[in-house]
Every structure is written in C-alpha cells, then in structure tokens.
Chain A
Amino acid sequence: SAVISQKPSRDICQRGTSLTIQCQVDSQVTMMFWYRQQPGQSLTLIATANQGSEATYESGFVIDKFPISRPNLTFSTLTVSNMSPEDSSIYLCSVHPTGGQTGELFFGEGSRLTVL
C-alpha cells in the first residue's frame, strides 16, 4: 500500500485565479494520476503524471488548464488555472505502487475546491 498526502485539503478561490495542489507519497511510485470528481458525478481521470516528462492528458483535459509537475518518484502537483465555478470539484491524487502486481490503486484524501 501507499500513504498519500494532499495539500490543501480544501480551499475557496476566486474566479480567474489559479491554485496548485500537492501530492506527496511515502514511497517511490511509478504511476501517479490525477482525478476530478465534480459534484454528484463519478471520478474522471485528468492525466497521468510521468516522472521526468510531460503528463499524459485524457480527452477533454489540456495542459494549459491543468499543468502538472512530477519532479521525482514521490511528489506531483496539479495546478487548476484561470478557475471558474465549473472547476469546483474534489481533486484526487492516485498512485500505483512500484512493483505492484495486482493493479490496485490507492487514493489520497482529496482536495476540495470551491470557486466563487
């Protein structure tokens, strides 16, 4: 398993501003992912954070809106840029432990973002 810490746990932001969410893992992991959960909806994968290279984005998500960094094997950030009320969501970091054979993913506590 893996222990995942996310910061901030929640925030209230003004329209047009940007916010960076941090994800710290207690062990080195190969795969890190960022998901979004809009109110009343299921989780949707935003992107895969690749160590040492650009993130791989899913359809409907772009780097200009959701820039991602992955400077090492234990840390990643997701920035939500030029926010609008539609960006109000829970953003979750997920990891697949290095060497894991089952494909089991673990999730952080999430960052609850409200945009006014």
Chain B
Amino acid sequence: KQEVTQIPAALSVPEGENLVLNCSFTDSAIYNLQWFRQDPGKGLTSLLLIQSSQREQTSGRLNASLDKSSGRSTLYIAASQPGDSATYLCAVMGSGGSNYKLTFGKGTLLTVNP
C-alpha cells in the first residue's frame, strides 16, 4: 500500500527566503506526482505535475523535482512571499495511471512572514 510522507509538517520563514518542501513515497511504481496548494478551508489548486519519466518541472518561482528510484520529490519555492502561505500537498498516482487514483500526504503548512 502506497504511503506518502511530507516533511516538515509546518514551516515558518521570513519573506524573501528560498525554501524546500519534501515528499517521500514508499512504492516507486508511480505514474506521476502532483503538488497542490490548499488555502484554509478551500479546495486544491494544482501547482506542478511530474510524470514518472521526468526529473523536474518548473512554473514561475516553483520548481519540483522527482527521484522515483529513491521515492522522493522536493518542491522548491524561490523568493517566498506572504501570498505563498498555504498548505502544500504532495500526491502520487499509481503506475499505469489507469484508475487515476491519488494517494496524498498530510501536507506542509507554510507561513511566510512579512
């Protein structure tokens, strides 16, 4: 059974800092990995998707990497802003992708202080 762990559970940084969020998964047979953002009491916004054959994806100040063999992904946020404050969720989709089921971590609660 796939398990996804995110470290740290919470992170507080001053504005402008670069930071890294970590995600690990127990079964390396994945189809893809997605990073989401969730604001308090809200739904999920898709940030980045990495296919199992890819090593990284970039969008603006965000960069996500994937090391499938070691079961790890990182989300790098450059020059953090108070508006980046949210919970960041990592989710993996099982290999084959035929059922499109995602297994989620519990998330990292990020607070960026002005």
Residues of A within 8 A of B (CB): 4, 6, 10, 31, 33, 40-45, 48, 90, 92, 94, 96, 102-110, 112
Contacts and interface: CB of A to CB of B under 8 A. Distances in A.
Contacts, number: 63
A33 B42 contact: no
Interface residues of B, number: 25
B33 to A, nearest CB: 10
B93 interface: yes
B11 to A, nearest CB: 17
B46 A106 contact: yes
Interface of B: 4, 31-32, 34, 36, 41-46, 49, 51, 89, 91, 93, 97, 99-102, 104-107
B43 A108 contact: yes
Dominant secondary structure of chain B at its interface with chain A: strand
Given A102-B49, A105-B34, A110-B43, A96 B104 contact: no
A105 B105 contact: no
A92 B43 contact: yes
A110 B38 CA distance: 10
B21 to A, nearest CB: 15
B43 A45 contact: no
A112 B89 contact: no
B40 to A, nearest CB: 10
A45 B45 CA distance: 17
Contacts of B97: 103
Nearest to A90: B41
A92 B99 contact: no
